[in-house]
A and B are shown apart, each in its own frame.
Chain A
């Protein structure tokens, strides 16, 4: 595993006109490393992801910094897939390549490779409205991987899928991560998913601060779900989340 930094986030705070979303978040993102972000609803997980992706609304006020150590190719996978209904599966996957104006022959080969890998080759000319949720998310993943990103950002990518589809796609993500040099940051509500997909698990508090950063020794473990250490890690995170919640709601002494 390379340990060089790809991005340094320092004292990042994000405010909107009627609320504060993040408060003094600092984070070092390393090459070929995996991070997951957990926290209660509305704590700023998606805001953090969008801040790293440079996609914050113009209404947001940003303090602090997020500095890439080199030009970074970023890809974002959205919770609602982000597929364009007027483009076929192949057109959706080719879009980032088209936007980068890469040579058409190479682009098509890479897209076809990704689509075959994700078992979508029978749906090239289909439109997203005809696909299942799992298929749509595979198309979204194929589109995000086809440009070989340096930094893959995923915002609750599997939350609307059934358990088996979710597990299969988590395996696909880990497989791609291991075959590439990309870093990935996944926002999730699921403790189990956070432990599966993150070597570093960041827990945000209700106030938008970074309350815990954990190093997950079970990340990339073979057959993790059959391993006791995986579940112990989940239990530890659950305890931390409950403690944060208790501190927030406990009456003063």
Chain B
């Protein structure tokens, strides 16, 4: 991310926040300074909660990238599988996955597994559809070119399909990470005492608004860090994509 525009955005947000504090003038909207003070004093606590949330999302991303990409690639490469899987995808995709949380907790318990699975479900459909479409969009000349070099099937996956889908995969991840954080925030309100979602709601219930806003700022940093990580990973894995 470019540093100067980011700095300007942060400064603008802080200014608007401070102006809102003056206008609203209620204790449930603490000032940036008060929130910042809380964050400094309770830095390690916030990091602990953020780490748990980050762990849940990253595990969900890794599992979904592997599973979702595999299903997407196989669906695109096989007409039979496409006819079976695609209607299922289109039927299940619009269903709000949050509704599955109680079922997941019954099946997988009250620990991280149910929360990670919920986030993974959100990401899965995005990635499968995005990967499937990008495989189908690979120009046939690439397959002809690699076969003309004597490639076997495994070579085609390694040298053509996987690299070709990477830009679309990263785009899909960027789109779905925002929703995933929101869903995780919701899921961390059930049967857990760790995670930034839990921290925010717990602070609200205790009427500790400085802590609540500290949690909100932390979740925002976490999201930014995730986007930054995705951008960095894409810059390493997709060096051929023109920047800007």
Does A195 touch B at the CB level, under 8 Å? no
- Evaluate contact between B159 and A84: CB separation under 8 angstroms: yes
Q: Which residues of A contact B145 (CB under 8 A)?
A: 76, 78, 82-84
In the complex, identify which listed stretch (A93-101, A172-180, A231-239) lies at the interface while the others stay far away: A93-101
> What residues on A are CB-neighbors of B151 within 8 Å?
99
Which B174-231 residues have a C-beta within 8 angstroms of A? none
Taking CB atoms and an 8 Å cut-off, the chain B residues in 128-154 that contact chain A are: 141-142, 144-151
A42 at the interface (CB under 8 A from B): no
Q: Are B149 and A84 in contact (CB under 8 A)?
A: no
Alpha-carbon separation in the docked complex, A143 to B145 (Å)? 11
Q: Mark A78-97, 1 if CB is under 8 A from B, else 0.
A: 10101111110000000110
Name the residue of chain A whose CB is nearest to the CB of B238.
A86
Q: Contacts of A75 on B, CB cut-off 8 Å? A: 148-149
Bound Cα distance from A14 to B166, whole angstroms? 37
A86-B238, A86-B240 are contacts. A99–B144 as well, Cβ < 8 Å?
Answer: no
Verify if A55 is at the interface (C-beta below 8 Å from B).
yes
Tell me the complex Cα distance, A55–B242, Å: 32
Given A80-B141, A82-B141, A86-B164, A99:B148 Cβ within 8 A = no
Number of interface residues of A (CB under 8 A): 23
A84 in contact with B142 given A55-B147, A99-B149, A127-B240 (CB within 8 Å)? yes
> A78-B145, A84-B163, A86-B164 are known contacts. Are A99 and B150 too (CB-CB below 8 A)?
yes
Nearest chain B CB to A253 CB, angstrom units: 45
For A91, give the chain B residue with the smallest CB separation.
B159
Q: Does B160 sit at the interface, judged by CB under 8 A?
A: yes
**Assembled-state Cα–Cα distance A74/B147 (Å):** 11
Tell me, yes or no, whether B239 is within 8 Å of chain A by CB. Answer: yes
Residues of A within 8 A of B160 (CB): 84
For residue A108, give the distance in angstroms from its CB to the closest CB of chain B.
17
Structural contact, A96 and B159, CB atoms closer than 8 A: no
With CB as the reference atom, state the residue of chain B lying closest to A126: B240
The answer to whether A55 touches B144, judged by C-beta atoms less than 8 angstroms apart, is yes
Chain A residues with CB below 8 A from B159, complex form? 84, 87, 95
> Are B238 and A78 touching (Cβ within 8 A)?
no
- Interfacial chain A residues near B42, Cβ < 8 Å: none
Question: Quick one: which of A82, A86, A128 contacts B148, CB cutoff 8 A?
Answer: A82
Kindly list chain B residues whose C-beta atoms are within 8 Å of the C-beta of A127: 239-240
Query: In this assembly, does A129 line the interface, its C-beta being within 8 Å of a C-beta of chain B?
Result: yes
* Residue A60, interface by CB 8 Å: no
- CB interface residues, B 87-119, toward A, < 8 Å: none
B77 on interface, CB distance cutoff 8 Å: no
Docked complex: A134-160 residues within 8 A CB-CB of B:
143, 153
**Minimum distance in angstroms from B237 CB to a CB of chain A:** 9
Complex CA distance for A85 and B142, rounded to whole angstroms: 10
A55 to B150, CA, bound (A): 10
Q: Known contacts A78-B144, A86-B240, A127-B239; is A100 also within 8 Å of B163 by CB?
A: no
Nearest-neighbour CB distance to chain B for A46, whole angstroms, equals 10
A99 to B163, CA, bound (A): 16
Asked if residues A82 and B163 are in contact (CB atoms below 8 Å), the reply is no
B155 touches A99 (CB 8 A): yes
Q: Which residue of A lies closest to B240 (CB)?
A: A127
User: In the assembled complex, which residues on chain B have CB atoms less than 8 Å from the CB atom of A80?
Assistant: 141
Q: Which residues of B contact A82 (CB under 8 A)?
A: 141-142, 144-145, 148
> A55-B148, A78-B141 given. 19 additional CB < 8 A pairs?
A50-B144, A53-B148, A75-B148, A76-B144, A76-B145, A76-B148, A78-B144, A78-B145, A78-B148, A82-B145, A84-B146, A84-B159, A84-B160, A84-B163, A86-B238, A95-B149, A99-B151, A100-B150, A127-B240
A residues adjacent to B (C-beta < 8 A):
50, 53, 55, 74-76, 78, 80, 82-87, 95-96, 99-100, 127-129, 143, 153
The 30 sampled A-B contact pairs (Cβ below 8 Å) are: A50-B144, A53-B148, A55-B144, A55-B147, A55-B148, A75-B149, A76-B144, A76-B145, A78-B144, A78-B145, A78-B148, A82-B141, A82-B142, A82-B145, A82-B148, A83-B145, A84-B142, A84-B146, A84-B160, A86-B163, A86-B166, A95-B149, A99-B150, A99-B151, A99-B155, A127-B240, A128-B240, A129-B240, A129-B242, A143-B149
